[in-house]
Amino acid sequence: MGYEATRETIMAYTRGGHETHGHDRDMLADDAVFTLMSTGKTFQGRAEVEVLLDLFYRQAFEARDEIQTVIIDEDHAVVEALFAAKHIGEFDGVAATGKQAVVPYCAVYTVEGAKISSGHLYLDVDLLRDQLVSAKQSALKPERKASTTH
């Protein structure tokens, strides 16, 4: 594939507009497979991957990624980001709380034919849930508020 083509694909995917909450779904292969590594749940095919993205960015949360680092080689990319979200719908048994959550995550993507064919998403779902149900901030975790700009 090549470094430049992989870079263009990943940058287009992560720069998606407001309507896609930061993900240009045209960059997904029809047979893309994404795995949420903290749970082992696999989403096979573009339609299922879009269900996953909708859950995290439109249904359970109003969210965006605050990208910190991107590393790219010939056919892979690693994206380090903060998942910054407002909890607006049911997530993992927790009804909408209106709380802000910020959780670091990392995604490892494989790019084939200018499309993302797989993604391994390293997002700590337990930490996310804890931020939704916890009334106070842990003394071991620094407080961080999500910015409100898009």
Dihedral sign, Cα of residue 128, residue 133, residue 138, residue 143: positive
- Whether residue 150 is contained in a domain is answered as no
pTM of the model: 0.85
Cα distances (angstroms) measured from residue 64 to each of 29, 98, 140: 22, 15, 25
The reply to whether 141 falls in a domain is no
**Do the domain assignments include residue 27?**
yes
Q: Which domain holds residue 125?
A: 3-133
* Residue 148 forms part of a structural domain: no
| Position 23 pLDDT exceeds 90 | no
Q: Return d(Cα 124, Cα 128) in angstroms, integer.
A: 6
CB atoms within 10 A of CB 133: 12
What CATH number did the domain enclosing 89 receive? Answer: 3.10.450.50
Tally the domains of the chain.
Answer: 1
pLDDT for 108 beyond 90: yes
pLDDT tens string 53-103: 999 999 999 999 999 999 999 999 999 999 999 999 999 999 999 999 999
pLDDT of 116 reads 97
Q: Cα separation of 42 and 51, whole Å?
A: 12
**pLDDT at residue 87, rounded to an integer:** 98
Q: What percent of the chain has pLDDT over 70?
A: 84
Residue 42 lies in a domain: yes
Average model confidence (pLDDT) for the chain?
88
